Structure 1
Amino acid sequence: MNAARNEQHEKPVEFIRLPEVKKLTSLGTTKIYTMASEGLFPKQVPLGGRAVAWIKSEVLQWNNDQVAAARGQASDSSMSK
């Protein structure tokens, strides 16, 4: 369990805001929030107050999952269903 914690600390988490999520995915605001609430897209992380962000690596993994699904390839991610 300590090894897992150490690995998490070695990789910095990069937060991205909604405009960048939209740019990376080509999805609109409503679609992003709807899919996140349905468990089909990474959920946002509260940063404090009303500010939220997404973890960039999770969004990029979702992108990769979509490409794999379109190509009929298996994906390692638990986000795609």
Structure 2
Amino acid sequence: MSAYSQTSERRIQKLIRLPRVIEITGRSRARIYEDIKSDIFPKPIKIGPRAVAWVEEEIIDWIEERKQQRFQA
């Protein structure tokens, strides 16, 4: 199997930057980083020397987990 075939079979995952994460979650920058330290929030991926991004699907999954917790309390 060629490298191209392997790559084309993978699902594309969108990376989003902090302003979009804040918009989607409604959380502050400080709270996001506090929760990352506490292993409560998905960790970002380093995309450059001074830049990070999050996998959008991981953020959506995190939101879905919070929604499910409403019914488990």
TM-score, scaled relative to structure 1: 0.76
Rg larger for: 2
Q: Report which structure shows greater RCO (CA 8 Å, sep ≥6).
A: 2
Q: CA RMSD in A?
A: 1.5
Following superposition, which runs of at least 4 residues in structure 1 exceed 4 angstroms of deviation?
none
Report the count of equivalent residues: 66
1:71 Cα deviation from its structure 2 partner: 1.9
Once the two structures are superposed, residues 28-59 of structure 1 have per-residue CA deviations (whole angstroms, 9 ceiling, x without a partner) of 00000010111000001000110100000000
Percent sequence identity is 29
Q: Distance in 1 between matches of 2:68 and 2:56?
A: 18
Which runs of 5 or more residues in structure 1 are unaligned?
Answer: 1-5, 74-81
Q: Distance in 2 between matches of 1:23 and 1:40?
A: 18
Q: Distance in 2 between matches of 1:70 and 1:20?
A: 24
Which runs of 5 or more residues in structure 2 are unaligned?
Answer: 1-5
